[in-house]
A and B are shown apart, each in its own frame.
Chain A
Amino acid sequence: MDFLFSYIVLAEIYVLLGLSTNLLVGIVGIFSISQAAVFGVGAYIVAHFLMADLALSFIPSLAIAAAGCVALNVIVTLPSLRVSGDYFVVTSFGIQLLATAVFTNWTAGTGGANGLPGIPPPDVFGLPIETTGQYVLLCSAASALGCLAFWLIMGAPFGRLLRAIREDEIAVAAAGKNVLAAKVSAAALAGAFAGTAGGLYATFLSFIDPSSFDLDASILLLTMVVVGGARTLAGSIVGPFLLLALPQLLTLVDIPTTIAAAARQLLYGLLLIAFMLFRPQGLAGERL
């Protein structure tokens, strides 16, 4: 039962990340390969404040992490306003590699490659969250809130504005809409999602290391959005649940443990290619 619960918890954390990636890549059309970096920053900030000498409780830590990730994601996404599509790809790759370098080499702050163990479990307004069952409730609440926010935004004029920006930025600007403000807001929201997901992830596993937030993790996030389906709420939910179940399927096939990680990433790569070629709208999305 615990196994199923922890699968659900992780999948729900990735739903938040999926929403974050979907908002940027699917809806606004900004190619981002650095969402795992933002996710990582959220995780490390929460871990830091929970383990500091004057430890904060979980909710304030999470709020600080979310705020930090909002700021970070806005700064990271800002170049996309100035430089055209392909230049931003370089920016995004660069930020991801830079973040991995910081996570790995800034030993004093992040524990370096060995990671950061012993992150205390969270509490919600004095109520400690310790069993996996309680985590399921916490993460369900968080991801439900995220989904609700996503759904409301998609139905609102703001959501239509974001989609219009993807189709034709100049036309939107010519219609008197503020493209800059809209992109910054979308990036801020995506940052808040990723930061919250990071905090939940750090406290659930009680251990974080750079490998959870590297380029491969960003590729996984992109695969989730692509397989689930870009632009829709359903896609952002289907993708994470499906892709986190896949490694379990791989364990059924007899693959030596030494190549298991590579086999998993190989599968993600194949999924990316196959979906782009044959079903760019994913399982439950709209055409990219």
Chain B
Amino acid sequence: MLPLQLLVNGLVTGCALGVVAISFSLVYATTKIFHVAHAGVYTLAGYLAWSLSTHGVPSVLALLLAMAACTALGALIQTQLYARLERRHATHLVVLIASLGALAVMQNIIAAVYTPNILQFAVPWSSRMVAAGSIRLNYTQMLTIVLSLAAYAGTMLFAHRTILGKRIRAVAANPFLAEITRLEPRTVYVYVIAIASALVCLPGVLVPLDLGLQPYNGVTPLLTATIAMIAGGVGSISGAFVLSVAIAVVQNLSLLVIPGEWSIGVTFFIFVIFMLFRPTGLFAAR
């Protein structure tokens, strides 16, 4: 039952991708910054967890520590880079180039410290297999589904039920109005990038736990996630998550007819279709 297995694999990849997409979407919808450096945070999370777990730190603690470090890193990028650029009235293009520079810096620090070769986690339970009928999944993949769905539900609750979540949505909806009603958009931007950076650690650690780590592996997931965000409608958390799952499923099922090394082509094809027929996305707000 290869198609069924591919479908399940697609769901696993899609859930992980969905968390990348909602975290990117949070940043993009609020700050309007195309935060390319997010791919670097994603990659760094995996490497930090790898270092900690090879030094004998328990897996859960390693994940939490990686999250804490990435939260700080996200806040640092906002306060030291984006906020400074904004104070200088930098254009959109300038901010984008700076973000790309930050991505290059993070990726290459990782490549210099850990070598560009693939690294595998030495966590025995992670690859233990469970078979249900003809479908086989390992513990990491099941954990990915559970934790990603939890992260999605958590983000929805956070955005709609908490004061900070509402404040973030207010700033995203109208930064000018937020400014004059003392919602302090600049502080909110720091919170948003910090939260998004913590969130992206989840797929950043879980995906390499299954597939291994490489320093330049962050760009393709981020690109796919941004495509999902756009196809889902910018600003819609559910749209980003659902479309990530859909794209990953289509991509995995396409393996039946198209070899795996062309899967970026499949993703991109989906994007072109959306750009031509539904540029505002499926679940566009307002």
Residues of the A chain whose Cβ atoms lie less than 8 Å from the Cβ of B267? 94
Indicate if the CB atoms of B275 and A79 lie closer than 8 Å: yes
A93 cross-chain contacts in B, Cβ below 8 A: 219, 223
Main DSSP-derived SS at the A contact region: helix
Q: Are A90 and B261 in contact (CB under 8 A)?
A: no
B226 CB contacts on chain A under 8 angstroms: 90
CB-CB nearest 10 A-B residue pairs: A272-B101, A269-B104, A266-B108, A269-B105, A262-B111, A276-B98, A273-B101, A262-B112, A259-B112, A94-B268
A-B contact pairs, 13 of them (CB 8 A): A82-B275, A87-B279, A90-B227, A101-B262, A105-B259, A105-B261, A259-B111, A266-B105, A270-B105, A273-B98, A276-B85, A277-B84, A288-B94
B98 adjacent to A272 (CB under 8 Å): yes
- Which residues in B have their C-beta under 8 angstroms from that of A272? 97-98, 100-101, 104
At the interface, yes or no: B166 with Cβ under 8 Å from chain A?
A: no
Q: Could you say which residues of chain B place their CB within 8 Å of the CB of A269? A: 100-108
Chain B residue total in the interface (Cβ 8 A): 47
Q: Mark A265-288, 1 if CB is under 8 A from B, else 0.
A: 110111111001100100000001
> Which residues of A are in contact with B by a Cβ distance under 8 Å?
25, 29, 31, 33, 79, 82-83, 85-87, 89-91, 93-95, 97-98, 101, 104-105, 215-216, 219, 222, 226, 258-259, 261-263, 265-266, 268-273, 276-277, 280, 288
B271 at interface by CB-CB < 8 Å:
yes
Chain B residue, CB-CB nearest to A266:
B108
Looking at the assembled complex, report how far the CB atom of A262 sits from the nearest CB atom of chain B, in whole angstroms: 4
A93-B223, A222-B100, A273-B101 known; A82 vs B112 contact (CB < 8 Å): no
Q: Is the CB of A263 within 8 A of B108?
A: yes
Question: Are A97's CB and B98's CB within 8 A?
Answer: no
Contact A86 B34 (CB under 8 A): yes
Shortest distance between the CB of A226 and any CB in chain B (Å): 6
Q: Distance (Å) between the CB of B101 and the closest chain A CB?
A: 3
Find out whether the CB atom of A219 lies under 8 angstroms from the CB atom of B115: no
> What residues of chain A lie closer than 8 Å to B268, measured between beta carbons?
94-95, 97-98
B81-115 interface bits toward A, Cβ cutoff 8 Å, 1 = contact, 0 = none: 10011001011111111101111111111011001
A90 & B102 in contact (Cβ 8 Å cutoff): no
The answer for the CA separation of A98 and B271 in the assembled complex, in Å, is 13
Query: Which of A29, A86, A87, A265 contacts B104, CB < 8 Å?
Result: A265
Interface status of B265 (Cβ within 8 A of chain A): yes
Residues from chain B with Cβ under 8 Å of A83 in the complex: 275, 279
With an 8 A cutoff between CB atoms, is B193 at the interface?
no
